[in-house]
Amino acid sequence: MKVLVVGGVAGGASAVARLRRLDENAEIIMFEKTGYISYANCGLPYYLGEVITEKEKLTLQTPESFGKRFNVDVRVNQEVLSIDRNNKTIEVKNLLDGNCYTESYDKLILSPGAKAIKPNFKGVDDERVKTLKTVEDTFSIYDYIEKNNVKNAVVVGGGFIGLEVAENFIHRDIKTTLIQLDPQILINIDYDMIVPVHKYLIDKGLDLRVNKAVKGFEPNNEHIKVELESGESLETDLVIMAIGVAPENNLAKEAGLKLGFKGSIVVNEKMQTSDEDIYAVGDAVEIEQKVLGKKTMISLAGPANEQGRLVAGSILGKEVKYLGAMGTSIIKLFDLAVASTGINEKVAKENGFDYEKVVIYSMSHASYYPNAKDICLKAIYEKGTNKILGAQAVGFDGVDKRIDVLSTAINNGMKINELIDLDLSYAPPFGLAKDPINILGYVSENIIDGVVKQYHWHDIPDLMEREDVVLLDVRTPFEYKNGHFKNTKHIPLDELRDRINEVDKSKKIYVNCHSGLRSYLACRILSQNGYDCYNLSGGYRFASSMLDDELKVLDLYPCGVSK
């Protein structure tokens, strides 16, 4: 069997390696348009920031070492121009000498990846406007910074690449502005989880400008001017365009293969395209979002590697079934981690889910052991079934393992109250006897069973103006003095039993504390004394970051972590 593979990064390289492990006799040829294979896309921004200092570290395998280990004909700097499906051949151009040739196949795997979007703006082709997608792009940007003594830069786009580039530029003492079209960065995260992250990044030196649209670029001799739709303009030494990616679908489109979501290549559960002898994997393919059951694109290395492994078995007749992905992801922003899995609240609302949400704070490990850090967790679950739909986490330590546990839970259809039963590892340096994951289960179980009712930060502006409710703050006098909701009654939790008659029983009582724990305890006291009581999800620290126009707010880091 002769198998040709177009694309030598995550999906393509995984397919080749697995194919060889399963069949020592197959003839395998891999074509890669760039000069590198199996390289670390996700590590490219860190070379710009000199976190990764050796070029060789960016490539997991060289063409020579990969070819030798797996007995594969690896051809770099070779661009596949077209597919002749009737004759089962491809046309290839050697980019080094310009020569073209034809290669036949029994099976063809397409792993072309995705291309960085570069809109047709005025001035976009100036050498100072760059994108970051390949190793060559990385070296080009790095060399430009070195040769031109770049002092300031503008990054357009607040997704993973844009933010990682911005962080690494700041590490290089390059004054950096990030422009984002949307009201927030990282649109896979809910707005209420990301607003404190905005504040954190600004504190770290990022000039963050959301709700701004780029109109074009005006080059001059020394600088390039970034022109915004608002009429503002910024002069800078360098621009990085990071507004997203689009599937590399030219080959598939010209070959008449079926295309789907946003032009991605349609595949079945065996990763076959509309031509049974042509397979496709990676960022260019349409897959199913597991929670929604809808078609989408998920441009992440994990799904690409899984698909590559699976397609090798598929070609050799193994019964396989690709089930889709949830888009589980994480990003490091200086010392902060932001992660998500499944769907967010906005997507749940758009897709008509009847859902509830839970927000908690917990330490990353035992508070008495040094360097314990706060984690903010938000989970969304479907009412009735109680199945977890998605989760997000923000914190300085332990975020990765919590989001991975929640991803596993969603993947296996767990109910949110079943998180109580998870037996998770504990020792003071690593976790807590009641892990944050377990606490999500405890809190949700209380809501599901009616032990406590809750309200959310977006309910507060209306509640502050109503006379038929009592807003009760049960924090300490010091906490209350440093910031509180308007028109609130203050009774510290430890005084509540003795002062309960000061609370008007004819009104609904909306209680808050700093994180939601003390206010829960207050609600249990009040409800067992005949009061109609509601607990603030996430507490004052979560609400304060969203409502700082109405409140006197403490100077806080993300999700209420004090400086």
Q: Would you name the residues annotated as active-site residues?
A: 42
Task: Identify the sign of the CA torsion 536, 540, 542, 545.
Answer: positive
DSSP code of 459? G
- What is the Cα–Cα distance from 490 to 474, expressed in whole angstroms? 6
In terms of Cβ atoms closer than 10 Å to its own Cβ (0-12, 13-18, 19+), residue 278 is buried
Can you spell out the DSSP letters for 169-205? HHHTT-EEEEEESSSSS-TTS-HHHHHHHHHHHHHTT
Helix ranges (H only) for 449-511 are: 460-465, 477-481, 496-499
User: Residue 245 phi/psi, 5° resolution?
Assistant: -130, 160
Decide if 87 contacts 78 (C-beta within 8 A): no
- What is the Cα–Cα distance from 507 to 494, expressed in whole angstroms? 22
Tokens matching residue 50: 């000199």
> How far are the Cα atoms of 9, 70, 346 from residue 20, in angstroms, in the given order?
16, 6, 43
Q: Which long-range contacts (CB under 8 A, 24 or more apart) does 549-556 make?
A: 550/460, 550/461, 550/464, 550/485, 550/486, 551/483, 551/484, 551/485, 551/486, 552/482, 552/483, 552/484, 553/483, 554/482, 554/483, 556/196, 556/199
- What is the Cα–Cα distance from 266 to 286, expressed in whole angstroms? 5
Helix ranges (H only) for 134-179 are: 135-148, 160-171
The β-bridge relationship of strands 129-131 and 336-342 is unpaired
> How far are the Cα atoms of 124, 273, 442, 472, 475 from residue 526, in angstroms, in the given order?
62, 61, 20, 11, 16
- What is the Cα–Cα distance from 108 to 92, expressed in whole angstroms? 14
| Nearest CA-CA partner of 491 in 519, 453, 463 | 519
Task: Identify the sign of the CA torsion 219, 220, 221, 224.
Answer: negative
What percent of the chain is helix, strand and coil (3-state, nearest 5)? 30, 30, 40
- What is the Cα–Cα distance from 290 to 303, expressed in whole angstroms? 12
